[in-house]
Chain A
């Protein structure tokens, strides 16, 4: 009955398949029609609504909720999608607790916000279930734009450009479009292959060609793109992962959390995915939480998330920390990895307690580890890119880089949080500016 819960080392099938599918079901189950009406009724239709201001894509939240309340969820979906073409994904993955719902006046007043995210999902799911694409492509302009990266930034940019009548090629080395929607977001946020279905739906606008196997800097150069296309949008995200900088970091069992998650997202059969009995995740952000929670859901007996500073400094929201805790993840704060132990494969990892300023205390401890997932940040990779601002491509408010004819947005560009919704906003805004630039329309 206990499956292979107690088996030492890294193995597959720790949990029976039905429990696995339960575990990876929807984090927030969809609202049914009655629940949606009850939830929508709570919205006050605020003036200059704080929720709308908090949304990076500025969705007209009070309007779409009123449209649900008045029995026109399709109109609500259009309100959402006209601002955020990936409104379906954002309804699932947005940390609403730190965006719209955090500032909802009913959160302030009662500690119980209007369920904006779930309402958004209700509206967009309805429209997409019928495969209804409410936007039409303008007449062809003859302009061609290269979009580098098929993540949320690239897709959003491509859709807006295609809608304006431009022809768009999206270049991406991966076999599937979607970027982290497809390869990174926690499985329980994007169930039933939603990421792929959403891209298919988005592509119905026409005029967009997805070219997989194309990697900037490898199969194609920026120079070539610049000369072959009328404009280039860079949305390649952050392809590299930060290293721990420890001896033995290359031992078996130590891998980037994003790789573990990508394998998990692409697995056709979760019971064949290998997971350790003792798993340690290093980091304090969304990726760390997602890796830890999913390791636990796969059947790891002991999952410990270790963050080097105090809890207040963790990037993961309180909601996410609580989610991890509720799934049985143990969170240790103020501990920095010092050494990896084991021959060939990792057996233990040693930490030293450090204060919020990372001052070492001299006190150390060891955790058993069959697997160690590193989640201490991703980095931009690439050479010959436009000017950087710190570690990202420098852009202005409309996504223009230092090189004329090249725009950038999403995680690879400066400014904004590394969130799906921010990437969508930046891709969309860059598309508007590209369009204005190419057609001479007022900027």
Chain B
């Protein structure tokens, strides 16, 4: 069993799996059970200003899309921040932190963009013994209409401003939670850094409509005949989140800024991928909402096994390990040449690779009378589509050609040297770049 203890911006937790600010962390009852199940930390459901709390709709607040076997792949919600009074949340946070001193407890906060509002809430939060705060600059529905959440997250100046206020007011570490509803996520990350943030966390949910009722002609979830866009999360958003995490991790401006990775983490592998791309830890919401708190046990055992396998003694060794290999397209090696190879022992002859390649790619797969499928090396451009549509894992491989051999498609000898687009003869800019 590898040592999974994690230290993120000075906050210790027995493992890098935190529950993201959301319904799973909405109250003491849940959080205690989450800790009992093994979660390393929680970001408490976002707190708002003192006074009458926000209200939620009283109809369905979730919509979903499913894969085969009704496996939940994407979840959409129109829930707001906590609808329970501030003092109740604070009291409960304090009690939980007292009983679970080894677990991380972070307060997520969202108050209006006025300095007094932040100055008022921070001492109250500090009083609970919370290990840090997370500024919710991401909620994309409801709160954003009121100038908070994503409305702040989409405006780097506001991010910088509220981050600075917080850093000036509290000794607690500050995490800024970013919205993905923006064209370039590096800008808000840079703003958070300028404001003095200790870390960023991402992603919050993505604007979405999951489905439309084709009888009532209304987006779902539908509240009395109408629906509004919600925030999308779950396995479906992971690729988007991974990319955003990587963008921040590899940008020179934000290099070294700690990242808490969020978005579709469902298994240990997802978590490891976020960490390899630069996340110091991960936060989880939808997986817990789909499978219950116990799902963390698989994350713990899986990550531990993986680390043992790799000989990693601390999660630090995994964090950002893949970042140097995230590259711009223009720097990819164009002399690298691969060909698809179908393992005939594993092939079940469904023909999906054939349909995909024949109809939509490079007509590089042959089909015999007896349904044997083989790759035509003289047509295959190694696009990987056949691998992706094949239902049998590991049945089709991409095999790199050895330098010195001849690519039957182009008739050219595979070169050992690396060469990319910047120097390619077809690139009109190549001459300039080479100069």
**Which residue of A47, A74, A75 contacts B292 across the interface (Cβ within 8 Å)?**
A47
Per-residue A-contact encoding for B284-305, CB less than 8 Å = 1, 0 else = 0000000110110110011011
**Which residue of B69, B297, B392 contacts A34 across the interface (Cβ within 8 Å)?**
B392
Chain B residues whose C-beta falls within 8 Å of the C-beta of A78 in the assembled complex: 301
A41 proximal to B (CB < 8 A): yes
Decide if the interface of chain A is mainly helix, strand, loop or mixed.
helix
Query: Measuring CB to CB, which residues of chain B are less than 8 angstroms from any residue of chain A?
Result: 69, 71, 267-269, 291-292, 294-295, 297-298, 301-302, 304-306, 346, 392-394
**Which residue of A62, A70, A74 contacts B269 across the interface (Cβ within 8 Å)?**
A70
Known contacts A41-B69, A42-B69; A72 and B268 CB within 8 A of each other? yes
Say yes or no: A75 contacts B393, CB within 8 Å: no
Chain B residues whose C-beta falls within 8 Å of the C-beta of A42 in the assembled complex: 69
What is the distance, in angstroms, from B122's C-beta to the closest C-beta of chain A? 38
What is the distance, in angstroms, from A176's C-beta to the closest C-beta of chain B? 34
Say yes or no: A70 contacts B346, CB within 8 Å: no
| Alpha-carbon distance between A74 and B302 when the two chains are bound, in angstroms | 9
Chain A residues whose C-beta falls within 8 Å of the C-beta of B267 in the assembled complex: 70
Closest 6 interchain pairs by CB? A75-B301, A70-B267, A72-B302, A66-B298, A75-B305, A45-B291
Q: How many residues of A contact B (CB 8 A)?
A: 19
Say yes or no: B301 contacts A72, CB within 8 Å: yes
Query: Measuring CB to CB, which residues of chain A are less than 8 angstroms from any residue of chain B?
Result: 33-34, 37, 41-42, 45, 47, 60, 62-63, 66-67, 70-72, 74-75, 78-79
| Alpha-carbon distance between A63 and B296 when the two chains are bound, in angstroms | 10
**Which residue of B71, B294, B305 contacts A72 across the interface (Cβ within 8 Å)?**
B305
Known contacts A42-B69, A47-B292; A71 and B298 CB within 8 A of each other? no
Chain B residues whose C-beta falls within 8 Å of the C-beta of A70 in the assembled complex: 267-269, 298, 302
| Alpha-carbon distance between A62 and B290 when the two chains are bound, in angstroms | 14
What is the distance, in angstroms, from A366's C-beta to the closest C-beta of chain B? 53
Chain B residues whose C-beta falls within 8 Å of the C-beta of A33 in the assembled complex: 393-394
What is the distance, in angstroms, from A199's C-beta to the closest C-beta of chain B? 26
Say yes or no: B393 contacts A37, CB within 8 Å: yes
Chain A residues whose C-beta falls within 8 Å of the C-beta of B346 in the assembled complex: 34
What is the distance, in angstroms, from A274's C-beta to the closest C-beta of chain B? 41
**Which residue of B295, B304, B393 contacts A45 across the interface (Cβ within 8 Å)?**
B295
| Alpha-carbon distance between A400 and B364 when the two chains are bound, in angstroms | 71
What is the distance, in angstroms, from B295's C-beta to the closest C-beta of chain A? 7
Q: Please name the residue on chain B nearest to A65 by beta carbon.
A: B298
Say yes or no: A79 contacts B301, CB within 8 Å: yes
| Alpha-carbon distance between A363 and B301 when the two chains are bound, in angstroms | 64
Chain A residues whose C-beta falls within 8 Å of the C-beta of B71 in the assembled complex: 41
| Alpha-carbon distance between A37 and B267 when the two chains are bound, in angstroms | 15
Q: Please name the residue on chain B nearest to A76 by beta carbon.
A: B301
| Alpha-carbon distance between A34 and B269 when the two chains are bound, in angstroms | 18
Chain A residues whose C-beta falls within 8 Å of the C-beta of B392 in the assembled complex: 34
12 A-B residue pairings within 8 Å (CB atoms):
A41-B69, A45-B291, A45-B292, A60-B297, A62-B294, A63-B298, A67-B301, A71-B302, A72-B306, A75-B301, A75-B302, A79-B301
| Alpha-carbon distance between A37 and B346 when the two chains are bound, in angstroms | 14
Say yes or no: A74 contacts B298, CB within 8 Å: no
| Alpha-carbon distance between A385 and B260 when the two chains are bound, in angstroms | 63
- Taking A42-B69, A72-B301, A75-B301 as known contacts, 11 extra A-B pairs with beta carbons closer than 8 A to each other, sorted by chain A number, are A34-B392, A37-B393, A45-B292, A45-B295, A47-B294, A60-B297, A70-B268, A71-B302, A72-B298, A72-B305, A72-B306
| Alpha-carbon distance between A78 and B294 when the two chains are bound, in angstroms | 17
